[in-house]
Homo-oligomer: A and B are copies of this chain.
Amino acid sequence: MRGSEAATQALYDEAPEAGAPVSEQTDGTADSGHEVLAVVFQIRGDKLSVLLWQRARRPYEEHWVLPGGRLGAVEGLDVSIRRQLAQKVDVRDLTHLEQLETRGDPGRHPQGRILATAYLGLVPADIDPVVPEDTSWHAASELPDMGFDHAAIVHSGRKRLRAKLSYTNVGFALAPPEFTVSELSRYYRAALGHDVAATNLRRVLLRRGQIEETGGFVPSGRSGGRPAALFRFRARRLEITDAFAVLRPPAGA
């Protein structure tokens, strides 16, 4: 629970009043007027869930928004979102983080134009980060009333994740270090939103060299059944495993 009290208050720093200069300080800690947000997904109980924070202030009071905040003047975008997720919502266990999109519509923020760069972050299914009180997980398929353009950003993230599950090994970022194929198929089902047959998933991911057996087994439960073999992802960094689905280079190249 470290830091969650202070974290809550600072979670979503307000913009300066409309019309005020974006940046008044000139020292190295001046903020840049640029926002960094994160769509953090985790599979929780058969649902793809996203971490949201409930605003206590206008505008969009009581609405839910993405975690994040102002970019510091001397930090990189990815460094910033990592810092803010760690400091403000106590999320330190991202297995994957990638840039999603930058939004800059003049109308996206009622207090004047604020640019926001959104990231897509993934947390594996086996951990349960302690998050502040006003922060919680919501099923991506049943989003609550959200502020600003954040709902649209969540949809972008969902789309990106779905696409990458098809041609990369992102699965590693959703799954725990070791898992059975049927567990894995549950993660894929939740993230993709449609059924994924365990029997074929195993073969696809094995053929692509994404997963391998650990040698371990999970004993069967009370209802019987054959013990399930444990697998792990061979790489725990993003790799494109099916680069040229079509129009691939000729064999001799």
Q: Chain A interface (Cβ within 8 Å of chain B)?
A: 19-24, 26, 32-34, 71, 73-77, 99, 101-106, 113, 115, 117, 165-167, 188, 192, 194-196, 201, 204, 242, 244-247, 249-250, 253
Contacts and interface: CB of A to CB of B under 8 A. Distances in A.
B253 A246 contact: no
Given A34-B115, A204-B246, A245-B246, 17 more contacts: A20-B26, A21-B24, A22-B22, A32-B33, A71-B104, A74-B106, A76-B105, A76-B106, A77-B102, A77-B103, A77-B115, A102-B102, A115-B117, A188-B247, A192-B249, A201-B247, A204-B247
> At the interface, is chain A mostly helix, strand, loop or mixed?
loop
Contacts of A253: 194-195
A80 to B, nearest CB: 8
B74 A166 contact: no
Contact of A245 (B167, B188, B194): B167
A23, A26, A32, A71: most-surrounded residue (chain B CB, <10 A): A32
